[in-house]
């Protein structure tokens, strides 16, 4: 390879330029996190080397004593962080430092708000902490060689954090990576042994690798005197010699951190601060977690889990393929980053580690998919998180309200994916309801059942695209009149949830927008008599409207569910819900054509007027307008809005004459 080919100047990917600008400006108030991020990366590099060396011991190159070293030079104004982990090849360097070659990039930048405080949290979640170097440095060098590559395949990467970087091939004897930060003049406070040790202890004490720094000591120089010299010395001279002892400076390496896997320590010996800092490392977050649970299982199966619930949702939480929550270790050796088998998809917000004593070190993703040990660990971790949430809901209601606001939509997926935890999850779910019409989801199923009326057999709910649409749905009119509470569901996932959640606590869930309304014992005798009395006349009016709307509706019938609205649409008992149809159509899916049922309120002035309308054209226009209004009230779109407006205007003119 020619010298010219070895040295290149390349431009940063556009997203990296954006990130560098954001990193420097958003995190400037918390400069010291650069060291935490570099040490975290170095620790990951060592984990990857350990894992790859399980199959190829030669990658250690005769040096299996893994460690991280932090140095500084006051004269050169540099801080250097070195590791003897896996290292990087030339292609690795371009991929990891010159571009953001990871899925979720688009969602990440779309999630940025311009609020520096909020955006700094997203940066941590996205896992690009390396660029925090440029908060304090005006130039960064990365010198590296991947384990297993030839010594002439080392790489030097240099950038000033602006538009481009240089990359060249170099000779490098040792594997691993060295990051050299050339500090800006206003950041010289970090060129201090005490300051660096303090930052390491504060943020990285939990790192299981030793983090090394040089330690200077003054050691006395011992000079041996001959016997004759000793005899010739007076006591006074000996005393004088004692005062003139000579010392020399000896530099030795000292481990700054505890260098033990935090999860392997006794819970009693771990402070909240240590738990929080470990979360920031494992969760790639700059913020403290909402809660954690640390558990050790012994017996037939032995494993340790340390699981965290973050305070805020990751930017890519709705990408169900993104799994970077729980790391798997086997006997303290890192195995993989995103072991999706360790936690169910509906808990994808959970972060942490699981360390098993029973899995083989050469475990693969394929083995994990069909492994009884993993199944038991998954079950155990899931139950522990559910237990943590139950305790939070019972003892820290405000904190649980924040959790539900952030992660409730994901947790609801649990009842869709299986029946194993349906009862537990039902107790954790929270909803809005007509009890207070608040948009805050704070009503539990237990709360609802406690307020059910005498004779009420079902838990009633309405689902809509927004809370306002649910709250103002015409389907609620009779329930509001009678004071019967209805759950208001407006999360997109709710339609899927209710199709798999037919019963809770021995009470059936009943949609107020499906099937014929039967309030049973909740109806009084006068209401039943009135319905029977008007039944024949109502059926004639309904049949007349049905003929006009033939092809658009399954049937038309009188209902008692409406008190102030003239009409509404409902789905048949066994048909797909109206909102589910809208969701599937919006996502581009083909769905079987089902016609709605139009329910009319015979006591409404409009229905009373058209009941006696002899002009069939006017009757048809009124019938069509009733149907279109019912469509609009449920959030559907009209096939022909212009015709609707024209008919409505004509009728208004007719009424005004």
pLDDT tens-digit profile of 158-212?
998 888 899 999 999 999 999 999 999 989 899 999 999 999 988 888 888 999 9
Q: Do residues 465 and 582 touch, judged by C-beta distance below 8 A?
A: yes
The pTM (predicted TM-score) of the whole model is 0.75
Mean pLDDT, the chain, integer = 84
Same fold, 3-212 and 523-656: no
Share of the chain above pLDDT 90, in %: 47
Q: What is the DSSP string of 414-450?
A: HHHH-STTHHHHHHH--BEETTT--SS--B-HHHHHH
Tokens coding 196: 């660096």
Per-residue confidence (pLDDT) for residue 226, from 0 to 100: 57
Per-residue confidence (pLDDT) for residue 449, from 0 to 100: 95
Strands of the sheet with 164-170, listed across from one edge: 7-11, 164-170, 154-159, 137-145, 176-183, 78-83, 68-73, 211-221, 246-255
Per-residue confidence (pLDDT) for residue 583, from 0 to 100: 65
Q: Is 221 helix (H, G, I), strand (E, B) or coil?
A: strand
Name the pLDDT band for 402 (thresholds 50, 70, 90). Answer: very high
Overall average pLDDT of the 494-504 stretch: 87
More confident residue, 243 or 258: 258
Per-residue confidence (pLDDT) for residue 46, from 0 to 100: 94
CATH architecture of 430-511: 3-Layer(aba) Sandwich (3.40)
Q: What does the buried/exposed string (b/e) look like for 4-13 if buried means 16 or more CB atoms within 10 Å of the residue's CB?
A: eeeeeeeebe
pLDDT tens-digit profile of 617-643?
999 999 999 999 999 988 888 888 898
Strands of the sheet with 291-297, listed across from one edge: 291-297, 303-309, 351-356, 326-330, 333-336
More confident residue, 428 or 589: 428
CATH fold of the domain at 262-400: Ribosomal Protein S5; domain 2 (3.30.230)
The whole-angstrom distance between residue 140's C-alpha and the CA centroid of its chain comes to 31
Per-residue confidence (pLDDT) for residue 532, from 0 to 100: 60
Per-residue confidence (pLDDT) for residue 114, from 0 to 100: 58
Q: Do residues 32 and 203 touch, judged by C-beta distance below 8 A?
A: yes
pLDDT tens-digit profile of 303-352?
999 999 999 887 667 665 655 689 888 888 788 776 678 889 899 899 99
The whole-angstrom distance between residue 625's C-alpha and the CA centroid of its chain comes to 45
Q: Is 212 helix (H, G, I), strand (E, B) or coil?
A: strand
Q: What is the DSSP string of 505-548?
A: TTEEEEETTBS----GGGS-HHHHHHHHHHHHHHHHHHHHHHHH
Which of 24-33, 148-157, 226-235 is predicted with the least confidence, judged by mean pLDDT? 226-235
Q: What is the DSSP string of 352-365?
A: EEEEESSS-TT--H
Per-residue confidence (pLDDT) for residue 4, from 0 to 100: 44
Give the separation between CA 384 and CA 464, rounded to whole angstroms: 33
CATH architecture of 3-212: 2-Layer Sandwich (3.30)
CATH architecture of 523-656: Up-down Bundle (1.20)
| Residue 407 CA neighbour count, 13 Å, CB half | 22
DSSP lists the bridge partners of residue 568 as: 599
pLDDT tens-digit profile of 519-563?
766 666 666 666 665 666 788 999 999 999 998 999 999 998 899
DSSP H or E run through 401 = helix 397-411
Per-residue confidence (pLDDT) for residue 371, from 0 to 100: 79
DSSP H or E run through 213 = strand 211-221
Does the pLDDT value for residue 101 go beyond 50?
no
Q: Per-domain residue ranges for the chain?
A: 3-212, 262-400, 430-511, 523-656
Overall average pLDDT of the 251-269 stretch: 89
């Amino acid at each position: 390879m020619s010298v010219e080919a070895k040295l290149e100047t390349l431009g940063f990917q556009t997203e990296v330029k954006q990130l560098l600008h954001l990193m420097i400006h958003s995190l400037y108030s918390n400069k010291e996190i650069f060291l935490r991020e570099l040490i975290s990366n170095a620790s990951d590099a060592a984990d990857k080397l350990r894992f790859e060396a399980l199959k190829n011991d030669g990658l250690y190159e005769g040096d299996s004593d893994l460690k991280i070293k932090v140095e500084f030079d006051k004269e050169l104004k540099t801080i250097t962080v070195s590791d003897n982990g896996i290292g990087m090849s030339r292609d690795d360097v371009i991929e990891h430092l010159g571009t953001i070659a990871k899925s979720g990039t688009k969602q990440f930048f779309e999630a940025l708000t311009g609020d520096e405080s909020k955006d700094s949290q997203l940066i941590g979640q996205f896992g690009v902490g390396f660029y925090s170097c440029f908060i304090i440095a005006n130039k960064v060098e990365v010198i590296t060689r991947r384990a297993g590559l030839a010594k002439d395949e080392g790489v030097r990467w240099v950038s000033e954090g602006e538009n481009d970087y240089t990359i060249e091939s170099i000779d490098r004897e040792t594997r691993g990576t060295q990051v050299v930060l050339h500090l800006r003049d206003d950041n010289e406070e970090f060129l201090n042994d005490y300051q660096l040790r303090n930052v390491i202890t504060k943020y990285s004490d939990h790192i299981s690798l030793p983090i090394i720094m040089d330690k200077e000591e003054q050691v006395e120089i011992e000079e041996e005197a001959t016997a004759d010299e000793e005899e010739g010395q007076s006591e006074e001279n000996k005393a004088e010699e004692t005062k003139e002892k000579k010392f020399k400076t000896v530099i030795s390496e000292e481990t700054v951190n505890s260098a033990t896997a935090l999860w392997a320590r006794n819970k009693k010996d771990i402070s909240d601060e240590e738990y929080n800092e470990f979360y920031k490392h494992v969760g790639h977050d700059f913020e403290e977690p909402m809660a954690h649970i640390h558990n050790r299982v012994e017996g037939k199966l032995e494993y340790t889990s340390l699981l965290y619930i973050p305070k805020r949702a990751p930017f890519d939480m709705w990408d169900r393929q993104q799994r970077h929550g729980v790391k798997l270790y086997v006997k303290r050796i890192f195995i993989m980053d995103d072991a999706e088998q360790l936690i169910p998809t509906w808990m994808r917000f959970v972060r942490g580690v699981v360390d098993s004593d029973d899995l083989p070190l050469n475990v693969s993703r394929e083995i994990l998919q069909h492994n009884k040990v993993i199944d038991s660990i998954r079950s155990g971790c899931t139950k522990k998180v559910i237990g943590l949430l139950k305790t939070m809901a019972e003892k820290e209601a405000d904190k649980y309200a924040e959790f539900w606001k952030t992660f409730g939509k994901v947790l609801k997926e649990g009842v869709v994916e299986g029946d194993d935890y349906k009862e537990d999850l039902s107790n954790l779910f929270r909803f809005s309801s007509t009890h207070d019409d608040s948009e805050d989801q704070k009503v539990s199923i237990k709360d609802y059942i406690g307020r059910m009326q005498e004779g009420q057999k079902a838990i009633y709910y309405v689902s809509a695209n927004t809370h306002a649409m649910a709250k103002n749905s015409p389907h609620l009119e009779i329930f509001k009149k009678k004071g019967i509470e209805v759950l208001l569901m407006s999360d997109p996932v709710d339609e899927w949830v209710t199709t798999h959640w037919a019963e809770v606590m021995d009470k059936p869930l009943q949609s107020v927008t499906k099937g014929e309304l039967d309030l049973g014992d909740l109806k009084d005798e006068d209401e039943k008599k009135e319905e029977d009395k008007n039944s024949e006349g109502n059926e004639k009016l309904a049949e007349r409207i049905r003929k006009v709307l033939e092809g658009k509706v399954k049937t038309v019938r009188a209902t008692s569910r409406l008190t102030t609205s003239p009409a509404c649409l409902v789905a048949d008992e066994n048909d797909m819900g109206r909102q589910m149809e809208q969701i599937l159509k919006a996502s581009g899916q083909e769905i079987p054509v089902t016609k709605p049922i139009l329910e009319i309120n015979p006591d409404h002035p409009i229905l009373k007027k058209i009941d006696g309308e002899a002009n069939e054209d006017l009757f048809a226009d009124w019938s069509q307008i009733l149907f279109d209004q019912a469509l609009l009230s449920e959030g559907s779109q009209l096939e022909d809005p212009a015709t609707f407006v024209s008919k409505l205007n004509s009728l208004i003119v007719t009424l005004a004459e």
